[in-house]
Amino acid sequence: MESLRLPDCSALIATALDEDFAYGPDYTSLATVPGEARCTADFTAREAGTIAGLGLIEEVLEATAQRLAQWGVDTAGSALADAPAPTITLHSTDGDRVAPGQVIATVQAPALLVLAAERTMLNMVSHVSGIATQTRRWVDAIAAAAADTGTPNSVKQAQVRDTRKTLPGLRALQKYAVRAGGGANHRMGLGDAAMIKDNHVLAVGSVATALRRVREHAPVIACEVEVDTLDQLDEVLLLHPDMVLLDNFALADVHTAVHCRQALSPTTALEVSGGLQLENAGEYGTSGVDYIAVGALTHSVRVLDIGLDFS
Protein backbone atom coordinates (compact mmCIF):
# COMPACT_ATOMS: atom_id res chain seq x y z
CA MET A 1 0.00 0.00 0.00
CA GLU A 2 1.21 3.51 -0.73
CA SER A 3 2.15 5.80 2.14
CA LEU A 4 -0.92 7.29 3.80
CA ARG A 5 -0.77 10.96 4.69
CA LEU A 6 -4.02 12.83 5.10
CA PRO A 7 -4.10 15.87 2.80
CA ASP A 8 -4.73 19.39 4.06
CA CYS A 9 -8.50 19.57 4.53
CA SER A 10 -8.73 22.90 6.35
CA ALA A 11 -10.44 24.70 3.46
CA LEU A 12 -12.89 21.83 2.97
CA ILE A 13 -13.76 21.77 6.67
CA ALA A 14 -14.19 25.55 6.68
CA THR A 15 -16.62 25.28 3.77
CA ALA A 16 -18.63 22.60 5.56
CA LEU A 17 -18.83 24.68 8.73
CA ASP A 18 -19.76 27.78 6.72
CA GLU A 19 -22.83 25.86 5.59
CA ASP A 20 -23.75 24.61 9.06
CA PHE A 21 -23.23 27.97 10.81
CA ALA A 22 -24.63 30.15 8.02
CA TYR A 23 -27.84 30.90 9.97
CA GLY A 24 -26.53 30.80 13.52
CA PRO A 25 -25.19 28.33 16.08
CA ASP A 26 -26.83 25.06 17.10
CA TYR A 27 -29.88 26.50 18.85
CA THR A 28 -31.36 23.05 19.44
CA SER A 29 -28.38 21.91 21.48
CA LEU A 30 -28.03 25.25 23.26
CA ALA A 31 -31.63 24.93 24.41
CA THR A 32 -31.37 21.34 25.62
CA VAL A 33 -27.77 20.72 26.71
CA PRO A 34 -26.10 22.44 29.69
CA GLY A 35 -23.04 24.39 28.66
CA GLU A 36 -20.81 22.56 31.13
CA ALA A 37 -21.95 19.06 30.08
CA ARG A 38 -19.31 16.70 28.73
CA CYS A 39 -19.89 13.48 26.84
CA THR A 40 -18.23 10.30 25.65
CA ALA A 41 -19.21 9.47 22.08
CA ASP A 42 -18.27 6.45 19.98
CA PHE A 43 -17.87 6.34 16.21
CA THR A 44 -19.20 2.89 15.33
CA ALA A 45 -19.20 1.07 12.01
CA ARG A 46 -22.69 -0.17 11.23
CA GLU A 47 -21.51 -2.35 8.37
CA ALA A 48 -18.31 -4.05 7.24
CA GLY A 49 -15.87 -1.90 5.34
CA THR A 50 -12.52 -0.17 5.21
CA ILE A 51 -11.90 2.93 7.28
CA ALA A 52 -10.34 6.17 6.05
CA GLY A 53 -10.17 9.77 7.21
CA LEU A 54 -9.96 9.25 10.96
CA GLY A 55 -7.62 12.23 11.26
CA LEU A 56 -10.53 14.43 10.18
CA ILE A 57 -12.23 13.93 13.53
CA GLU A 58 -9.71 16.02 15.44
CA GLU A 59 -9.49 18.65 12.71
CA VAL A 60 -13.25 19.13 12.56
CA LEU A 61 -13.54 19.36 16.34
CA GLU A 62 -10.84 22.03 16.52
CA ALA A 63 -12.40 24.08 13.73
CA THR A 64 -15.88 23.76 15.25
CA ALA A 65 -14.63 24.94 18.64
CA GLN A 66 -13.36 28.10 16.96
CA ARG A 67 -16.72 28.66 15.27
CA LEU A 68 -18.61 28.32 18.55
CA ALA A 69 -16.29 30.84 20.18
CA GLN A 70 -16.80 33.27 17.29
CA TRP A 71 -20.54 33.20 17.89
CA GLY A 72 -19.90 34.35 21.47
CA VAL A 73 -22.26 31.82 23.01
CA ASP A 74 -21.54 32.09 26.73
CA THR A 75 -22.45 28.52 27.63
CA ALA A 76 -20.45 26.99 24.81
CA GLY A 77 -17.62 29.45 25.22
CA SER A 78 -17.18 28.89 28.97
CA ALA A 79 -17.46 25.14 28.61
CA LEU A 80 -14.84 25.02 25.89
CA ALA A 81 -12.51 27.38 27.74
CA ASP A 82 -12.70 25.83 31.21
CA ALA A 83 -13.05 22.11 30.46
CA PRO A 84 -10.17 19.81 29.57
CA ALA A 85 -9.27 19.63 25.90
CA PRO A 86 -11.20 17.07 23.87
CA THR A 87 -9.70 13.61 23.95
CA ILE A 88 -9.82 11.47 20.79
CA THR A 89 -8.95 7.80 21.00
CA LEU A 90 -8.56 5.99 17.70
CA HIS A 91 -9.26 2.26 17.82
CA SER A 92 -8.51 1.77 14.12
CA THR A 93 -6.06 3.08 11.55
CA ASP A 94 -6.85 4.31 8.07
CA GLY A 95 -6.87 1.30 5.77
CA ASP A 96 -8.12 -1.11 8.45
CA ARG A 97 -11.03 -3.42 7.75
CA VAL A 98 -13.85 -3.09 10.27
CA ALA A 99 -16.82 -5.24 11.19
CA PRO A 100 -20.41 -4.19 11.95
CA GLY A 101 -20.63 -2.88 15.51
CA GLN A 102 -16.92 -2.17 15.77
CA VAL A 103 -16.00 1.05 17.57
CA ILE A 104 -13.44 2.88 15.45
CA ALA A 105 -12.92 6.02 17.55
CA THR A 106 -14.03 7.53 20.86
CA VAL A 107 -14.33 11.23 21.65
CA GLN A 108 -14.53 12.78 25.12
CA ALA A 109 -15.40 16.46 24.86
CA PRO A 110 -18.00 19.13 25.71
CA ALA A 111 -21.36 17.84 24.50
CA LEU A 112 -22.15 21.10 22.70
CA LEU A 113 -18.95 20.80 20.69
CA VAL A 114 -19.58 17.19 19.66
CA LEU A 115 -23.16 17.91 18.66
CA ALA A 116 -22.14 20.92 16.58
CA ALA A 117 -19.38 18.96 14.81
CA GLU A 118 -21.25 15.66 14.49
CA ARG A 119 -22.66 15.95 10.98
CA THR A 120 -19.50 17.36 9.43
CA MET A 121 -17.37 14.61 11.00
CA LEU A 122 -19.73 11.86 9.89
CA ASN A 123 -20.23 13.25 6.39
CA MET A 124 -16.52 13.34 5.72
CA VAL A 125 -15.40 10.13 7.41
CA SER A 126 -18.33 8.13 6.00
CA HIS A 127 -17.69 9.40 2.48
CA VAL A 128 -13.98 8.67 2.35
CA SER A 129 -14.49 5.32 4.11
CA GLY A 130 -17.01 4.45 1.40
CA ILE A 131 -14.37 5.11 -1.24
CA ALA A 132 -11.80 3.06 0.66
CA THR A 133 -14.30 0.24 1.06
CA GLN A 134 -15.18 0.13 -2.63
CA THR A 135 -11.51 0.28 -3.64
CA ARG A 136 -10.73 -2.63 -1.33
CA ARG A 137 -13.45 -4.71 -3.01
CA TRP A 138 -11.75 -4.26 -6.39
CA VAL A 139 -8.31 -4.99 -4.96
CA ASP A 140 -9.62 -8.12 -3.25
CA ALA A 141 -11.34 -9.32 -6.43
CA ILE A 142 -8.08 -9.16 -8.37
CA ALA A 143 -6.11 -10.85 -5.58
CA ALA A 144 -8.70 -13.64 -5.38
CA ALA A 145 -8.53 -14.23 -9.13
CA ALA A 146 -4.74 -14.42 -8.98
CA ALA A 147 -4.90 -16.93 -6.15
CA ASP A 148 -7.42 -19.04 -8.03
CA THR A 149 -4.92 -19.63 -10.83
CA GLY A 150 -2.90 -21.88 -8.52
CA THR A 151 0.30 -20.00 -9.39
CA PRO A 152 -0.30 -16.51 -7.95
CA ASN A 153 3.37 -15.58 -7.94
CA SER A 154 3.55 -15.92 -11.72
CA VAL A 155 0.39 -13.91 -12.38
CA LYS A 156 0.73 -10.16 -12.73
CA GLN A 157 -1.88 -8.43 -10.60
CA ALA A 158 -2.98 -5.06 -11.90
CA GLN A 159 -3.20 -2.12 -9.54
CA VAL A 160 -6.58 -0.45 -9.15
CA ARG A 161 -6.42 3.24 -10.04
CA ASP A 162 -8.85 6.12 -9.78
CA THR A 163 -9.55 8.85 -12.33
CA ARG A 164 -10.14 12.63 -12.26
CA LYS A 165 -13.87 11.98 -11.91
CA THR A 166 -13.92 13.60 -8.49
CA LEU A 167 -16.03 16.27 -6.80
CA PRO A 168 -14.68 19.83 -6.86
CA GLY A 169 -12.65 20.51 -3.73
CA LEU A 170 -12.58 16.86 -2.74
CA ARG A 171 -10.01 15.45 -5.16
CA ALA A 172 -7.05 15.17 -2.78
CA LEU A 173 -9.20 13.62 -0.04
CA GLN A 174 -11.00 11.22 -2.38
CA LYS A 175 -7.74 10.07 -3.89
CA TYR A 176 -6.32 9.64 -0.39
CA ALA A 177 -9.25 7.32 0.35
CA VAL A 178 -8.39 5.25 -2.73
CA ARG A 179 -4.88 4.75 -1.36
CA ALA A 180 -6.32 3.79 2.01
CA GLY A 181 -8.31 1.08 0.25
CA GLY A 182 -5.19 -0.36 -1.37
CA GLY A 183 -5.50 1.39 -4.72
CA ALA A 184 -3.24 3.83 -6.55
CA ASN A 185 -3.78 7.31 -7.92
CA HIS A 186 -3.98 8.46 -11.51
CA ARG A 187 -2.82 12.01 -12.20
CA MET A 188 -3.95 14.64 -9.72
CA GLY A 189 -4.52 17.35 -12.32
CA LEU A 190 -3.98 18.27 -15.93
CA GLY A 191 -0.32 19.16 -15.57
CA ASP A 192 1.37 16.34 -13.66
CA ALA A 193 1.08 13.93 -16.61
CA ALA A 194 -0.11 14.09 -20.21
CA MET A 195 -3.16 12.12 -21.31
CA ILE A 196 -3.92 11.86 -25.03
CA LYS A 197 -7.60 11.06 -25.58
CA ASP A 198 -9.79 10.68 -28.65
CA ASN A 199 -10.56 14.39 -28.97
CA HIS A 200 -6.86 15.21 -29.03
CA VAL A 201 -6.38 12.61 -31.76
CA LEU A 202 -9.22 14.10 -33.81
CA ALA A 203 -7.63 17.53 -33.48
CA VAL A 204 -4.33 16.43 -35.08
CA GLY A 205 -5.33 13.47 -37.24
CA SER A 206 -3.66 10.47 -35.63
CA VAL A 207 -2.56 8.99 -32.33
CA ALA A 208 1.08 8.96 -33.41
CA THR A 209 1.01 12.64 -34.35
CA ALA A 210 -0.54 13.57 -31.03
CA LEU A 211 2.14 11.68 -29.12
CA ARG A 212 4.96 13.26 -31.09
CA ARG A 213 3.57 16.74 -30.43
CA VAL A 214 3.23 16.13 -26.70
CA ARG A 215 6.81 14.95 -26.52
CA GLU A 216 7.99 18.05 -28.35
CA HIS A 217 5.96 20.37 -26.13
CA ALA A 218 6.60 18.69 -22.75
CA PRO A 219 9.48 16.23 -23.12
CA VAL A 220 9.92 15.54 -19.39
CA ILE A 221 6.25 14.82 -18.66
CA ALA A 222 5.07 11.20 -18.58
CA CYS A 223 2.46 10.57 -21.25
CA GLU A 224 -0.40 8.09 -21.46
CA VAL A 225 -2.18 7.46 -24.75
CA GLU A 226 -5.77 6.25 -25.05
CA VAL A 227 -6.49 3.82 -27.88
CA ASP A 228 -9.77 2.33 -29.05
CA THR A 229 -8.50 -0.41 -31.37
CA LEU A 230 -5.67 -2.89 -31.70
CA ASP A 231 -4.56 -1.11 -34.89
CA GLN A 232 -4.12 2.12 -32.93
CA LEU A 233 -2.22 0.20 -30.27
CA ASP A 234 0.25 -1.19 -32.80
CA GLU A 235 0.82 2.30 -34.20
CA VAL A 236 1.46 3.80 -30.76
CA LEU A 237 3.67 1.00 -29.43
CA LEU A 238 6.18 1.64 -32.20
CA LEU A 239 6.74 5.03 -30.51
CA HIS A 240 7.30 3.43 -27.07
CA PRO A 241 4.98 5.57 -24.94
CA ASP A 242 5.13 5.50 -21.14
CA MET A 243 1.63 4.05 -20.90
CA VAL A 244 -1.32 3.09 -23.09
CA LEU A 245 -4.93 3.13 -21.97
CA LEU A 246 -7.02 0.38 -23.58
CA ASP A 247 -10.46 1.97 -23.72
CA ASN A 248 -13.46 -0.37 -23.76
CA PHE A 249 -11.45 -3.38 -24.93
CA ALA A 250 -13.04 -6.82 -24.75
CA LEU A 251 -11.12 -9.25 -22.58
CA ALA A 252 -9.83 -11.24 -25.58
CA ASP A 253 -8.49 -8.03 -27.12
CA VAL A 254 -6.80 -7.12 -23.84
CA HIS A 255 -4.90 -10.41 -23.94
CA THR A 256 -3.88 -9.65 -27.52
CA ALA A 257 -2.78 -6.18 -26.46
CA VAL A 258 -0.58 -7.63 -23.72
CA HIS A 259 1.18 -9.85 -26.26
CA CYS A 260 1.62 -6.89 -28.63
CA ARG A 261 3.11 -4.81 -25.85
CA GLN A 262 5.61 -7.55 -25.00
CA ALA A 263 6.65 -7.83 -28.63
CA LEU A 264 6.82 -4.16 -29.58
CA SER A 265 7.45 -2.12 -26.42
CA PRO A 266 7.96 -4.16 -23.23
CA THR A 267 8.60 -1.06 -21.10
CA THR A 268 5.21 0.47 -21.93
CA ALA A 269 2.64 0.07 -19.15
CA LEU A 270 -0.93 -0.91 -20.02
CA GLU A 271 -4.11 0.27 -18.36
CA VAL A 272 -7.68 -0.85 -19.07
CA SER A 273 -10.78 1.28 -18.63
CA GLY A 274 -14.43 1.15 -19.63
CA GLY A 275 -16.90 -1.69 -19.28
CA LEU A 276 -15.33 -2.85 -16.05
CA GLN A 277 -17.49 -4.29 -13.30
CA LEU A 278 -16.57 -5.77 -9.97
CA GLU A 279 -17.69 -9.13 -11.36
CA ASN A 280 -15.05 -9.10 -14.11
CA ALA A 281 -12.33 -7.23 -12.23
CA GLY A 282 -10.42 -10.44 -11.57
CA GLU A 283 -10.30 -11.41 -15.23
CA TYR A 284 -9.08 -8.02 -16.36
CA GLY A 285 -6.83 -7.57 -13.35
CA THR A 286 -4.91 -10.78 -14.06
CA SER A 287 -4.74 -10.39 -17.84
CA GLY A 288 -1.22 -8.98 -17.74
CA VAL A 289 -2.05 -5.27 -17.71
CA ASP A 290 -0.51 -2.98 -15.13
CA TYR A 291 -3.55 -0.98 -14.07
CA ILE A 292 -7.32 -0.99 -14.22
CA ALA A 293 -8.95 2.44 -14.03
CA VAL A 294 -12.24 2.68 -12.14
CA GLY A 295 -14.00 6.04 -12.19
CA ALA A 296 -16.81 4.70 -10.01
CA LEU A 297 -14.46 4.61 -7.02
CA THR A 298 -15.07 8.32 -6.63
CA HIS A 299 -17.96 9.40 -8.85
CA SER A 300 -20.59 6.86 -7.75
CA VAL A 301 -19.52 5.68 -4.33
CA ARG A 302 -21.90 4.96 -1.45
CA VAL A 303 -20.91 6.11 2.01
CA LEU A 304 -19.91 3.60 4.66
CA ASP A 305 -22.59 3.65 7.36
CA ILE A 306 -20.95 5.01 10.51
CA GLY A 307 -22.82 6.19 13.59
CA LEU A 308 -21.88 8.56 16.41
CA ASP A 309 -23.57 7.68 19.69
CA PHE A 310 -23.21 9.01 23.21
CA SER A 311 -22.38 6.32 25.74
User: Please, is 90 exposed, middle or buried when counting C-beta atoms within 10 Å of its C-beta (0-12, 13-18, 19+)?
Assistant: middle
Query: Do 39 and 166 belong to one domain?
Result: no
The Cα–Cα gap between 18 and 63 comes to: 11
Task: State the total domains in the chain.
Answer: 2
Res 79: pLDDT? 47
Res 77: pLDDT? 43
pLDDT at 93 over 80: yes
CATH code at 103?
3.90.1170.20
Query: Do 156 and 233 belong to one domain?
Result: yes
What positions carry a catalytic annotation?
A: 119, 165, 197, 226, 247
Res 284: pLDDT? 96
Residue 140 lies in a domain: no
pLDDT tens, 33-52? 988 899 999 999 999 999 99
Tell me the average pLDDT across 17-23. 95
Query: Do 33 and 96 belong to one domain?
Result: yes
Give the residue from 173, 181, 100 showing the smallest Cα distance to 143: 181
Tell me the average pLDDT across 127-153. 89
Amino acid at 307: G
Residue 4 lies in a domain: no
pLDDT tens, 49-92? 999 999 999 999 999 998 988 876 543 444 455 556 789 999 99
Residue 139 lies in a domain: no
Determine the structural domain holding residue 306 and report its residue range. Answer: 10-132+301-310
Contact call for residues 224 and 242 (beta carbons, < 8 A): yes
